[in-house]
Structure 1
């Protein structure tokens, strides 16, 4: 007899079991966007309840967060829910790693992540090909995916790195044990269990296929079209809407709704929820969840009154801004020198750039003005990110949402000249500057950005010296032999003069990670050189990229384009037969000067008047 049960279940209980995934649905395919949404939902919901000084016991009075239904067979085969369970496994692993070095109380969640028998770890979702990756992430947050062929494993690793980057600093310290307690006791699923796999699939089909399930995009379209009185115009608007939505969905799964959220926030959102407990959602948040309702309620703000207004809204505004958004997504995914800053911002995972760029556009701007605004605003965003990163400031959503919202309103529909003035004033008024490079070094936070920065510098130097350089080659981690960060000093305190220059090995290791002591090299070279002393390394560098070659004396002979570039830009390049502490500091100063050329506010004027 068929038996179906449904129960509310918390993470603490759910993850005490081990689950299998059928062979035909084994791929874990969440992208960064889904992780970003999950992290934002969970952390913002938690911060609605958390107050400084709260303890784990206070979680009992916190609200719960519903993560939807999961469908299982009685023998724990997952029919629906593996994407969410896999993602929460990654979150639990990250939280466990985070609390290893925390001075605050620790919560034992090992049993929710894995069970162990005969020295073998079995994780919550028991798929053999994932075990090595999850074990590496659990042990030290690392796993080498260079030669990995499994789509699921590569995605698991990348989504873990996304969690590392996106997790807000405000929860990493005193609030951490409280957050962990909330995750395991207040995140709720509905567990639906059946006696057979066939019944489980029937339930899945019933839940997903029965009835008319309109998306917010479809409901918004229905409302807008219903207000157009002319049948011919309505049909024309409907055809345009369908064509654009199809294109947006081809770009990414939820591309249509992502575009509409960015567009409405960029052009119309006038308020945002305060960062206080029990604060009400405002324009910014409502657009993010039910934008179809928001447009109805705010139609006077958007100037939607008569039929012609609704016609204009689809046939002009929707068309113009979807055109721009599609262009931006193309520039984000494929390097185009003319729009390189859009690509650079996307490479660092800064998805908020679409909203900021769209905010600057006026629907009546000419094609030339729109192009200049894309270049100008993306250039500003590139500099904003760089300055924050060089000063160890995060650019994750939760940390800068108010900054981005206020910036969006400040540049909304401004002219080119106004934007130049705003951006120059903004950069000069930031608490931080590129002088933060003096103390910049490689650590867990900057590792996410360091390859990008060193690749930008290498590409900049080579490009200005007439070398056919490729930034995308330097940052592409999926190629067969990707580039890695190279330490100029080998990881050996006993080499050279290190023991006379540093009192302890710890001091040496810290100094070795400084910005001026880093390069990029192909992974195979990086590994073969890692134990080599500098005097031998520097001869090898002479056959590598130009930034590495500048350490070798040969670079300064018979190289007129480089020498001219060095002179024109007044950059203090010099070769080093040896490379001691003072030399590394000199190199750090050189890097700062290179960066000041790459991230230079004078570029705003150049773009505006090009």
Structure 2
């Protein structure tokens, strides 16, 4: 192997080249957690330098940020670079710059740099994507970049695309919610310039793909670039002097890491960060510019080094300590973590709230749950704590959503870590007291659901609340053909995906032309009121598109064959249905059918929705 070169390159330099991705690693695998960590690391580093008094040219003086290593060679036939290692990170950064293009078009006043050249280049009069892509991936990137020939913006094809393309689409849609509001709305031009110019990668370049694989194997399999997880294992096991226990600890570690990697290749690192933050981290970096990193950030950057530096505070000194740390502590919390991950992706009786939180992308849920459970808690106590913590987290994040507060990682990180410290190793009764006080101290109220409208709330938050309302009624009337929360919020069902439907048509003229019972004061009031929560239901996407501009009198005849939120508007739902009658008697809900639907009807139905919201999310029910 000859002429191995290495270069420190900016992201702009790296992404400005054209790449061939080997077929065996073309799938884009990153889930939201890895993608969110990358963007948040970049945002935190940028904000650590940024001050509002800085001019844009000051960004050039910011300290460079090292993002890691990529391994490449060159395809002699096409002159494209071949990515051997680093594709996931570079693809994620490409998604960021596609978003930057969209932001540039939507917010001209921000004067965002045109980074089209980091996504596609001109070659002999034709556009060529910088990353060689299969048909469905190329189509997705072109549509997201708005550089496709036909200008079509339909993404229905993604439902039938490969898993890698689906992941690309989902991660792109995550960007809006991950970005810090101030960066997104005011200083995105500064931030995108900093990512392009000041974030750097170390590129190792070898002559051939064969040589590249030798380097890759050497780096990853022969100890020259052990993962943090492997280094942590080596450190911990080296301190266990009892030969039998050493063998047991080694077998246990390998077995559990294997289980974690079945979820995702990086899940071992996700667990180790979560575990150490949940049980041992004591502080987090402040918000002021220039604040130094604390336990929370240092564990995120280099958890193995953090543990080596803080072993005394963790309480591991003797061989017996290390033995117990692996065979007891590690075992208990990795098993709990695996359980939470399972219920995050499977809608399971008794653990619905874990699924609710996961569907809202509350990525710090595992940290809170592990924090609350003591090493010596029995299985039954641990189960109750899992349910209690996940219920409160669902309550609190839903409360925030209804009050129009964002539940992004950036918005929640400090709040939930502070809560993590308060609930660490507490008893069930102590947890309940902490949660009641935490809810009260928030100053938030579910009465604000009056302002939780289609025009103000995010589509995802509205969809989640409507899905919970529908599931609540389905369960209450014991509906045998219920849809279920997990189906309502599933965004991968193409034409069968549920979307939000306005009960009243968009056009005021459609409404006034179909009713003699108009009690809206004006067209302006109509436009505002129709967006209230009580004016919304859920319908499959294909049905929603066919009905959305029709008057209520035409819609309601079709609603009886739809899901329960639509059915409750029809008389058929209530006739000869003792289960519905019993549910209304016990719940005291004023659900009823409407032949016509005007302002009074809308406000009545909104009050019913509001009552259900307060029944679903009750702090008294959580701590009872």
TM over 0.5: yes
Query: What does residue 130 of structure 1 align with?
Result: 137
> Which residue does 1:82 correspond to in 2?
87
Q: Deviations over 1:443-482 (max 9, x none)?
A: 5961123322211111110111111332222222334623
Q: C-alpha displacement at 1:370, in angstroms?
A: 0.7
Unpaired runs of at least 5, structure 2: 147-151
User: In structure 2, how many angstroms separate the alpha carbons of the residues matched to 1:487 and 1:479?
Assistant: 21
**Where in structure 2 are the equivalents of 1:124-523 lying within 5 Å?**
124-127=130-133, 128-139=135-146, 143-145=155-157, 147-193=159-205, 196-442=208-454, 446-468=458-480, 469=482, 470-479=484-493, 481-497=496-512, 501=520, 511-523=529-541
More moved, 179-188 vs 62-71: 62-71
1:528 paired with 2:570, answer: no
Q: Write the deviation string for residues 36-90 of structure 1: whole angstroms up to 9, x where unpaired.
A: 1211111111111111132210111111222332414161243233322321121
SS in 2 for 1:532: coil
RMSD across aligned positions (CA): 2.7
> Does the 8 A contact of 1:137 with 1:143 survive in 2?
no
Q: Distance in 2 between matches of 1:232 and 1:24?
A: 40
Bigger shift: 329-338 or 523-532? Answer: 523-532
Measure the CA separation in 1 of the matches of 2:562 and 2:592: 17
- 1:127-185 CA-to-partner distances (Å, cap 9, x unmatched) read 24323322332349873356422223211111101212211212122222111211221
SS in 1 for 2:510: coil
Instruction: Describe the SS at the equivalent of 1:52.
Output: coil
Match of 1:604 in 2: 622
The within-5 A match list for 1:34-113 is: 34-67=34-67, 68-73=69-74, 75-80=79-84, 81-102=86-107, 103-113=109-119
SS of the aligned residue for 2:292 comes to: coil
Contact kept in structure 1, 2:158 and 2:166, CA below 8 Å: no
1:196 and 1:257 mapped to 2: Cα distance?
A: 31
Given that residues 20 and 83 in structure 2 are in contact (C-alpha distance below 8 angstroms), is that contact kept between their aligned partners in structure 1? no
Aligned to 2:604: 586
Decide which moves more: 14-23 or 28-37: 14-23
Q: Residues 508 and 159 from structure 1, CA distance in 2 versus in 1: closer, same or farther, beyond 3 angstroms?
A: farther
Change in 2 beyond 3 A, CA 1:273/1:123: same
Q: What CA deviation, in whole Å up to 9, does each residue of 1:276-297 have, x standing for no partner?
A: 3332222112222322232233
Q: TM-score, length-normalised on structure 2?
A: 0.90
Q: Do the aligned residues in 2 keep the contact of 1:32 with 1:159 (CA within 8 Å)?
A: yes
- In structure 1, the residue matched to 2:149 is none
Q: Write out the 4+ residue segments of structure 1 that deviate beyond 6 Å after TM superposition.
A: 116-120
Q: CA deviation at 1:312?
A: 2.0
Gaps of 5+ in 1: none
Cα distance in 1 between the residues matched to 2:110 and 2:181: 15
Distance 1:474 1:222 in 2: 46
Structure-2 separation of matches of 1:194 and 1:211: 20
Report the Cα distance in structure 1 between the residues aligned to 2:164 and 2:305, rounded to whole angstroms: 37
The question of whether the paired residues in 2 share the 8 Å contact of 1:390 and 1:434 is answered with: yes
Q: Distance in 1 between matches of 2:130 and 2:489?
A: 33
Change (3 A) 1:173 1:366: same
Higher deviation after alignment, 370-379 or 578-587: 578-587
Query: 1:199: how far off?
Result: 4.7
Q: Structure 1 length normalisation: TM-score? A: 0.92
**Relative to structure 2, which stretch is displaced further, 229-238 or 177-186?**
229-238
Tell me the distance in 1 between the aligned counterparts of 2:420 and 2:113: 40
1:177-207 CA deviation, whole Å, 9 max, x = no partner?
1112112211223445566554555554454
SS in structure 2 at match of 1:575 = coil
Is contact 2:275–2:367 with CA below 8 Å preserved after alignment? yes
Moved more, 582-591 or 158-167: 582-591
Instruction: Write the distance in 1 (CA, Å) between the matches of 2:355 and 2:257.
Output: 23
